[in-house]
Amino acid sequence: MNKRSNKRAKAPLGVNKSQPKRNRRSNAAKDWSLPRLLAGLHDDIQSRLETARKAFNHPGTKGDASEQVWLELFQTYLPLRYKAAKAHVVDSKGRFSEQIDVVIFDRQYSPFIFHFQGQAIVPAESVYAVFESKQSINAGEVAYAQQKVRSVRRLHRTSLPIPHAGGTFPPKTPSHIIGGLLTFESDWTPGMGSALINALDKDKTQGRLDLGCVAAHGVFGCDLKACGSVTPQSKPATAFLFELIARLQATATVPMIDVRAYAQCLTRE
């Protein structure tokens, strides 16, 4: 028969075996750092965008990889009521937007989303935000993003009265669709200076870029009065994500879509 050893197993470094296990877990929790966690989120996004920029030579492949980095960020961290995808947007009159790199739309109340040969088409009423994704920001890319945003905002959106236990609420006025541009780097020096502001200022209406991120430099945006709200950040991707979520919260819920208006398209062919 083997003799049992009377020697106690050595405790791991830094662990006092005389402490109850509950206290050890409590002490371990003290090592967590929210600033480090949030900084790590940004560092991961910036590193992946940089890899996409440097690892692929083909512009299309490079662009697809960058788009996927942003899409995965939104799909992971946005509340489940939202969905993010590359898509076209359509209205009940049969008009389509240009293809948008990132469409953030409702996944709870919108009754249908079309998929055809890998292409997603979402109804205009369900859209909360649209973003273009590019490798680097410059005047040309700002103008291009503004054009893409205009192609979505010009679409017609229906809104029906909302039934409830005591009657109906009046139709909700469709909310402003957030538009923006997401990049890794800036072609300007400084990256978030007056050249960016001047480019943003060229369209403050239908093509206005409300919010954007240059992962290597900072967060920028426009309000109803002017463009020029440029915020250099040490961890821009995380700051951008939080600001986007705050704006989505303020938007509340999309209007109740008139499905019959879309059904009328069946008689137009």
Asked if pLDDT for residue 2 goes beyond 90, the answer is: no
- Model confidence pLDDT, tens digit, residues 232-246: 878 999 999 999 999
Positive or negative CA dihedral for 190, 227, 229, 136? negative
Fill in the DSSP letter of residue 267. G
Q: How far is residue 252's CA from residue 238's CA, in Å, rounded to a whole number?
A: 22
Contact between 254 and 240 under an 8 Å Cβ cutoff? The reply is no
- DSSP H helices, 170-258, are 194-200, 236-251
Mean pLDDT of the chain: 86
- Model confidence pLDDT, tens digit, residues 199-226: 999 998 999 999 999 999 999 999 888 8
Q: Which long-range contacts (CB under 8 A, 24 or more apart) does 75-79 make?
A: 77/41, 77/241, 77/245, 78/104, 78/245, 78/248, 79/245, 79/248
Fill in the DSSP letter of residue 32. -
Q: How far is residue 158's CA from residue 90's CA, in Å, rounded to a whole number?
A: 12
The answer for residues whose C-beta is within 8 angstroms of residue 74's C-beta and 6 or more apart is 82, 84, 102, 104
**Which residue from 129, 176, 174 is spatially nearest to 148, judged by alpha carbons?**
129
State the pLDDT at residue 146.
Answer: 97
Catalytically annotated residues: 101, 132, 134
